[in-house]
A and B are shown apart, each in its own frame.
Chain A
Amino acid sequence: SQQGEEDPQALSIQEGENATMNCSYKTSINNLQWYRQNSGRGLVHLILIRSNEREKHSGRLRVTLDTSKKSSSLLITASRAADTASYFCATGESGGYQKVTFGTGTKLQVIP
């Protein structure tokens, strides 16, 4: 089944720096989403970008989508220690039940 592949698998940065995570996928999508998961918790929805959009912002988050390259990136600006978490991309396909397929995630560590 289609699955987003995040890159890198792990990322360690200093507080205040920007963090960039990438996601590649294989087939046509309706939308792409990013989720955050703090250790031991459920996933939290961050942002959704539709296939006809190229860029979207939400607070310190910036998401880009390039459907020609089947890739997306998540940029977190001015990172904080509280941003330490795993980040997952999820591709949404058109279909009877709004199928969403999750990638394996990028583990981000922000060092104070």
Chain B
Amino acid sequence: DAGITQSPRHKVTETGTPVTLRCHQTENHRYMYWYRQDPGHGLRLIHYSYGVKDTDKGEVSDGYSVSRSKTEDFLLTLESATSSQTSVYFCAISGGGDRSSYEQYFGPGTRLTVT
């Protein structure tokens, strides 16, 4: 299946510190996404990318920024972490091969705790 990794897998950080999460794919998929998953909310889109240096906001983008300088890497940065950003973060990719570009393939997730 899709080769997609996330790093780190777990992180504990203090309020006010910047944090960067990395998503790396080996599948040459065009689209990349960052979601957060919280109990009772399902998955909510933070930011997405439709190509190198092409990104846009999702529904919960406040406090987050992203960058995509290479096809394979999509970085999510929390500029100044807050306790409300404690969550599990998932990266996903789509738009590769002969599969529908709507089908998304997910990384293993990063559990972030902000104390």
Interface size on B, residues (CB 8 A): 26
CB pair A97 B31 closer than 8 Å: yes
Q: How far is the CA of A100 from the CA of B108 in the complex (A)?
A: 19
Q: Is B102 a contact partner of A31 (Cβ separation < 8 A)?
A: yes
> In this complex, what residue of A is CB-closest to B103?
A45
Chain B 75-115, CB-CB to A under 8 Å as 1, else 0, gives 00000000000000010101100001111111111000000
Among the listed A1, A41, A101, which residue makes an inter-chain contact with B108, where contact means beta carbons less than 8 Å apart? A41
Is the interface on chain A under 10, 10 to 19, 20 to 34, or 35 or more residues? 20 to 34
Are A100 and B106 interface neighbours, CB within 8 A? no
A67 at the A/B interface (Cβ < 8 Å)?
Answer: no
Question: Roughly how many angstroms separate A101 CA and B92 CA in the complex, as a whole number?
Answer: 13
Seen from chain A, the residues whose Cβ lies within 8 Å of a Cβ on chain B are 1, 3, 30-31, 33, 35, 40-45, 48, 88, 90, 92, 96-98, 100-105
Interface residues of B (CB under 8 A from A): 31, 35, 40-45, 48, 50, 56, 59, 90, 92, 94-95, 100-109
Query: What are 12 residue pairs bridging A and B, where the CB atoms are less than 8 Å apart in the complex?
Result: A41-B109, A42-B90, A42-B106, A42-B107, A43-B90, A43-B92, A44-B106, A45-B104, A48-B100, A101-B45, A102-B42, A104-B41
